[in-house]
């Protein structure tokens, strides 16, 4: 029997779905430009890594990228840069690009201060002090977006960057094989792929690192060129 309770659940589910499509869906542009890739026939892809820098995962990832002679884009969490300033600098020294990923990656902080104004500006300064670079690229935690956040990004001369998750299962710290197989399904010319080399609480990114040992050579064997975000979108990486 179709009850009022079931109807309420369905309505709530619909509201959640609509909100997700507007403020968290990787391809949403409701509030403005938030690129997840480009339209192209050229075999070109951008690998991006969020939530670092973290030891040993970022260091291990840099070794894999160097071994395969490819470049990537790292969206750094401010408090992790504070813990690992030399590791943040090593990303730059290795020829990769870094972007702003807010200070704490804390959901409570977002709920209490949705614009992330202080988190963004604080992270800009932390990254500059550690690396001598002031990012022009920003990826919001959980890909959340709204008009107030876009205003803060504009004020700080930041370009928002979205992307497709290599696998949404990565949050569960699944095996390298699962990450690798899921990521292959996302492969297409012009796509920005999101993975994670860091964390804001306890986490194990070894599965992701091992998956890159499989994925990067496979992409190259398929004829893909792996580039940084600034080259893919033809925009500045730094201010």
Domain ranges of the chain: 1-30, 34-233
Distance CA(218)–CA(186), nearest Å, equals 13
Assess contact for 52 and 232: CB atoms under 8 A.
no
User: Does the annotation count 50 as an active-site position?
Assistant: yes
**Residue 5: predicted pLDDT:** 77
Residues in the chain: 239
Q: Classify domain 34-233 at the CATH class level.
A: alpha beta
Each residue's pLDDT, cut to its tens digit, for the chain (239 residues) gives 568 778 778 778 778 777 777 888 999 999 999 999 999 999 999 999 999 999 999 999 999 999 999 999 999 999 999 999 999 999 999 999 999 999 999 888 877 888 999 999 999 999 999 999 999 999 999 999 999 999 999 999 999 999 999 999 998 999 999 999 999 999 999 999 999 999 867 789 999 999 999 999 999 999 999 999 999 999 999 99
Distance, CA of 160 to CA of 158 (rounded, Å):
6
In whole angstroms, what separates CA 122 from the centre of its chain? 19
The residue annotated as part of the active site, out of 96, 196, 197, 230, is 196
Q: Which helix or strand (DSSP H or E) is residue 74 part of?
A: strand 73-76
Q: What is the largest CA-CA distance in the chain?
A: 65
- 196 labelled catalytic: yes
How far apart are the C-alpha atoms of 49 and 26, rounded to whole Å? 15
Residue 89's pLDDT is 98
Q: Which of 50, 51, 197, 230 is catalytic?
A: 50
């Amino acid at each position: 029997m179709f009850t009022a309770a079931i109807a309420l659940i369905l309505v709530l589910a619909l509201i959640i779905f609509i909100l997700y499509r507007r403020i968290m869906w990787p391809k949403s542009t409701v509030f403005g430009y938030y690129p997840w890739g480009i339209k192209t026939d050229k075999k070109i892809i951008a690998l991006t890594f969020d939530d670092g820098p973290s030891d040993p995962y970022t260091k291990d990832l840099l070794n894999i990228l160097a071994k395969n002679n490819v470049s990537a884009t790292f969206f750094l969490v401010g408090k992790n840069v504070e813990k690992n300033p030399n590791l943040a600098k090593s990303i730059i020294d290795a020829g990769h690009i870094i972007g702003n990923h807010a200070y704490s990656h804390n959901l409570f902080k977002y709920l209490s201060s949705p614009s992330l104004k202080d988190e963004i500006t604080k992270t800009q300064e932390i990254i500059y002090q550690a690396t001598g670079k002031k990012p022009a690229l920003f990826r919001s935690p959980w890909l959340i977006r709204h008009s107030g956040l876009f205003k803060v990004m504009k004020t700080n001369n930041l370009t928002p960057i979205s992307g497709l998750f290599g696998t949404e299962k990565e949050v569960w710290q699944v095996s390298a094989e699962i990450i690798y197989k899921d990521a292959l399904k996302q492969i297409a010319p012009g796509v920005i792929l999101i993975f994670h080399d860091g964390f804001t609480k306890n986490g194990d990114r070894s599965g992701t690192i091992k998956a890159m040992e499989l994925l990067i050579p496979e992409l190259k064997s398929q004829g893909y060129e792996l580039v940084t975000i600034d080259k893919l979108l033809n925009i500045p990486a730094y201010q």
